[in-house]
Amino acid sequence: MNDNQKLKDVRCFLLDMDGTFYLGEHLLEGAARFLDLLKKQNKKFLFLTNNSSSRGSRYAEKITRLGIPMPEELVLTSGEATALYLKKHHPTAKLFVMGTPALEDEFRQHGFQLVQKNPDLLILGFDQTLTYKKLWMLCDFVRLGLPYIATHPDFNCPTETGYMPDTGAMIAFVKASTGREPDLVIGKPNRLIVEAASLKMDVPIEKLAMIGDRLYTDIALGKSSGITTVLVLSGETKKQDLKDSPFKPDYIFENLGGVADWLERFG
């Protein structure tokens, strides 16, 4: 199969949000046109974000507010994917969750009991309500050897003014204190979130493509799941970062407008 054929054969695009589709309160260049083109070409899309600080409904509301009506069903967060994984594999587990109130609510909505004492399983998410007390409690539980799951591994979350520390930075803190990494990471680049997306959209994994701005999460999905990957340079990654990265995208564009241009020409 030639390189062009890989992108031509995609039936559903998994779209990162922060740094790919929008930044802060602004759509990035070509974002709206890209979605319009997919609809014209009868191709599907699903917003797939590692950001577990909010529920899918918040992201759908934000995109709608930015001018593109979006149903909640077309957003899959690493928080929701983690809850779905636990519902299948640990349905009765009592959880200690280090995360925002929205992430805590995600787990409660899926039927889990959240506790501060004697948990069965530990969850670390993107906690913008982080306190030293929370970190201390999590580290104590991790040292006890309890099962420990992180929603995603991103080190930074892009903002309009720079970057804010993300879950990967919190994972590093816990490791420095306890010597332990999470037993499992659900979000990108883990194949589990791709499997969830494939099921949700009823599209075979080999017909999916991931579009994102991070090499170690979005593009690493190509290695973990075998899907086509598209890097956009509108967020965290710059061209010079590719030189030393083990994760190489199948395609590189400046932004989603560039992807739309390609699909108009070849798709």
DSSP letter string over 161-174?
TEEEE-HHHHHHHH
Q: Is the pLDDT of residue 93 over 90?
A: yes
Tell me the CATH architecture of domain 79-185.
3-Layer(aba) Sandwich (3.40)
CB 49 within 8 A of CB 62: no
CA proximity to 58, closest of 94, 19, 17, 111 = 17
Distance, CA of 70 to CA of 132 (rounded, Å): 37
Q: How far apart are CA 179 and CA 182, in angstroms?
A: 10
**pLDDT higher than threshold 70 for residue 99:** yes
Q: What is the mean pLDDT of residues 96-119?
A: 97
Q: What residue type is 92 in one-letter code? A: T
Range 3-50+189-266 classified under CATH 3.40.50.1000: yes
The residue ranges of every structural domain in the chain are 3-50+189-266, 79-185
Residue in this structure with the two tokens 């395609």, named with its chain if needed:
251
Q: Do domains 3-50+189-266 and 79-185 have the same CATH topology?
A: yes
Q: Please write the tens of the pLDDT for every residue from 152-196.
A: 998 988 777 888 999 999 999 999 999 999 999 999 899 999 988
202-207: average pLDDT: 96
